[in-house]
Amino acid sequence: MKTRQGVMIAVLAAAGFGFACKPNPLAEGQRFMQAGDYEKAVASFSAVRDQQPNDPLVHNELGLAYAKMEKDGEAIASYQKALALQPDYPEAHFNLGTAYYRQMGLPEAEAELRKAVELRPDYVKAHNNLGLALMNMGRFPEAEESFRKAMELDPQNEVYQENLEYCQGLARSTEENLKQYQELKEEKEKAGKGEEKPAAPEKKPELKEKPAPAPAE
């Protein structure tokens, strides 16, 4: 019986009934990505896309290659196509949200990154980038919550701790500067009532902070 089964397996393998490893059509483009040759990666992924236009993975990979070339418009279009084909694709939502964030399309970035963490609650990079988008909109408590979630998921990553501290510092500076600005404005309004010469326009004190954190990729 064992001999018979062995013969049958050999016959099926020879006939090509799925025992060999299936080739990965994206492998060449991924190799170019790893080598940093993004132009060739775009060409390779584009060729696969033309053969498999309904594969969301291909469009997502092509978007990543465009993003590396800083072709944000093409990257966004590729991610949107991936999501049109597969709306519950968390990586494509993350990539699209990150692309929007780089263009400072903050409400759009928030929407996509929230969708990514909704579909994949343990998506640590999406929590981090969502925190960055919220922070840039001045929504500091929500941003802190996102950074804390990222830290909870990846306690060893110091970047998330640094982003949380940056956010907390920015929140304090903003509050202090707005308070100072309001006090100065009120003083000038009181002093300027009897003045003939108009007072110089007020200028908000500038925040002196280190460069803003970069989004995770």
Q: Tell me the pLDDT tens digit for each residue of 160-195.
A: 999 999 999 999 988 676 666 665 665 666 666 654
pLDDT of residue 7: 41
Per CATH, domain 109-187 is 1.25.40.10: yes
User: Residue 123's CB: how many other CB atoms inside 10 A?
Assistant: 22
Domain spans in the chain, listed from the N-terminal domain onward: 26-87, 109-187
Topology of the domain comprising 26-87: 1.25.40
Q: Tell me the pLDDT tens digit for each residue of 18-60.
A: 444 566 889 999 999 999 999 999 999 999 999 999 999 999 9
Quote the pTM value.
Answer: 0.76
Q: Tell me the pLDDT tens digit for each residue of 88-116.
A: 999 999 999 999 999 999 999 999 999 99
Domain 26-87 identical in fold to domain 109-187: yes
